[in-house]
Chains A and B, each alone.
Chain A
Amino acid sequence: MNYAVDENGFYGEFGGAFVPEMLHSNIETLRSSYLDITGTPTFQNKFRSLLKDYVGRPSPLYFATRLSQAHGCQIYLKREDLNHTGSHKINNTIGQILLAKELGKTRIIAETGAGQHGVATATVCALMGLECVVHMGVVDIARQSPNVARMRMLGAKVIPSRSGSQTLKDATNEAIRDWISHPVETHYIIGSVVGPHPYPDMVARFQSVISEEMRWQLKEHTGRENPDAIVACVGGGSNAAGAFYHYLDQDEVRFVAVEAAGLGIDSGESAATSVLGTRGIIHGSRTLLMQTDDGQITEPYSISAGLDYPGIGPLHAHLLSTARAEAVSVTDQEALDAALRLTRLEGIIPALETAHAFSALDKIKFNETDVVVVSLSGRGDKDLDTYIKNLPIDE
């Protein structure tokens, strides 16, 4: 089985670029140049040195002793939470801002849910001196206010998206509309492995640094490059894509993609796309998405703004439909409980998104010798309000 994108931008039946003519020229420019531009030694040198000196890579691979004991397997945490700005999102924005500069773009737009991608975008725009506009749903602006403040301090303009469920899906619609209206000077930095080709592949490549490091780090720790399983949360799927990337063809490495079940899969308030989704088109990509019989995209729900999305990237749709990856869904409450457990066992407060991945460890039976890597995609500073409100934390 081949898991790489094909020349037309498809992973099996999923992917492609279903964009209106207004975006054709921009998408075509990206498609025809992204591999050439990002493949040059100059680009790679700039990218690598920013990841090292600015982001702080390599991110540590940490053996979690007490968590391993609790779950009865060998758990390693890939510490993307220690990156500058606090999540894996910066890996992608560093890559895309360098690309945008090569393309001569002067204005950057982005969508954001949890605000991590918005902060990572605002950060690289400050670094490069480019104008930055971030679209964010009104609901998310309220529940991730520390990140809104960070973006504003970094000089970005945060535009509230008021359509639909006022969350990530709608922020993405508004970013696309913005790009349609400003096609010449603007580059759209998409925050996950979603959207029209070449975005899913381009973002996966920038994030693939995660599994590139995992290989040699695991070798140092355990003597072998391959873990038995990799567990990652999936909103659009970029931290998962980065953590799976260099193991895609190693069938013995098990992939666990963790989705947000919200209040429960059958509650009508969920974002578990692999269970509730069907084939369709969202944000320019043919993939799995939650929709009605009439083809209206469903408004999803999750306590976690970064997983509150009714679709998944086309790579993940392909991995799931070919059974290369398995999906696990985790409710709001289970994620909250897992966040507190990780905090108390390891002294690490994870992002709410990431907490979903940790809850999945309860739902899968591992052997005592199994080496399991969890992608610790981000830190929980932005979620403290939600944690304090919902967890039994004493004064």
Chain B
Amino acid sequence: MNRIEALLQKKKDPILSIYYTAGYPSLQDTIPILQSLSDAGVDLVEIGIPYSDPMADGPTIQQSGTEAIANGMTLRVLLDQLQSVRSRLEIPIILMGYLNQLMQFGIEDFLKLARKNGVDGLIIPDLPMDIYEKEYLTLFAKYEMPVVFLITPQTSPERIRKIDQLSQGFIYMVSDASITGAKSMISQSQLDYFERIAALGLQTPVITGFGISDAETFQTASRYSRGAIIGSAFIKSLDSKNLAQSVKSFIASIRS
């Protein structure tokens, strides 16, 4: 069974997922961070493929991506770094990146290598469901590579139903009309939206992301969905001089 599905089946407590940018703060930090996250008991990771023009991302992820690219991170380097990871770690890994990078690599070559190197799923924010269905579904299915789709406060109920049908693993509920970035609180209108989604009784589990930053926002989001994803706040907390310790204390602060 896919590691993401296995996690969602067995885990009863809120799922904590961490997003971070590959190759940041330095090129060789991708795997040590993964190891520290796994050691700290994080359930799921999303590794961001740094991109020059990440249109759905806020300043923190933009900046970490720019630095990672300057450090020499590329999609090929990232896949190389992941090569031996599955001999040591079982934590489910999702790669998150924009379609242009995958096209330039060659979609099929990418899927083949990602599958081989233990990647469990993909998030491609600028690959809309309809184009995925028409142009890519067969290829992704051939390599058994699940794609996680996003829903937002503007996504219509009919479209959510369709995404529910097409989704594998989980649905990524974007917490607000926003780009990525840490926020300190969740508003009443966001809670209304979380409730509306919870009431739909979707077959696919829902995990919340964007703007989740600390124990409180994590717990709130987890009351309405299976868990939450923290990105920008985690990236900001990384201390390049004491990487393992900074990861450990950030995760402890969320779980406390």
Interface set of A (CB-CB < 8 Å, partner B):
16-22, 24-26, 163-164, 169, 173, 176-177, 180-184, 278-284, 291, 293-297
A280 CB → nearest B CB, Å: 5
| Contact between A295 and B178, CB atoms less than 8 A apart | no
Interface centre among A24, A181, A183, A291 (most CB of B within 10 A): A24
A-B contact pairs, 25 of them (CB 8 A): A16-B131, A18-B99, A18-B127, A19-B128, A20-B55, A20-B126, A20-B150, A21-B155, A22-B56, A22-B150, A24-B155, A25-B155, A177-B58, A180-B179, A181-B178, A278-B104, A280-B100, A280-B104, A281-B100, A281-B126, A283-B55, A294-B74, A294-B75, A294-B105, A297-B53
CA distance A180 to B210 in the complex (A): 12
Interface centre among B62, B100, B125, B156 (most CB of A within 10 A): B100
Interface centre among B53, B56, B103 (most CB of A within 10 A): B53
Measured CB to CB, the nearest residue on chain B to A180 is B179
A360 CB → nearest B CB, Å: 29
Measured CB to CB, the nearest residue on chain A to B150 is A21
**B26 in contact (CB, < 8 A):** no
15 more A-B contacts (CB under 8 A) besides A20-B55, A22-B154, A284-B126? A16-B131, A18-B128, A21-B152, A22-B56, A25-B156, A164-B53, A173-B53, A180-B177, A180-B178, A182-B177, A184-B154, A278-B104, A281-B100, A281-B103, A295-B102
**B218 in contact (CB, < 8 A):** no
| Contact between B99 and A294, CB atoms less than 8 A apart | no
| Contact between B154 and A293, CB atoms less than 8 A apart | no
| Contact between A295 and B150, CB atoms less than 8 A apart | no
| Contact between B56 and A180, CB atoms less than 8 A apart | yes
| Contact between B131 and A295, CB atoms less than 8 A apart | no
Residues of B close to A280: CB separation below 8 A: 100, 103-104
CA distance A107 to B187 in the complex (A): 23
A48 CB → nearest B CB, Å: 34
| Contact between A25 and B154, CB atoms less than 8 A apart | yes
Residues of B close to A279: CB separation below 8 A: 103
B206 CB → nearest A CB, Å: 14
Given contacts A17-B128, A19-B128, contact A296 B69 (CB under 8 A): yes
Residues of B close to A291: CB separation below 8 A: 100, 104
Give a binary string over B61-80; 1 marks a CB under 8 Å from any A CB, 0 the rest. 01000100100001110000
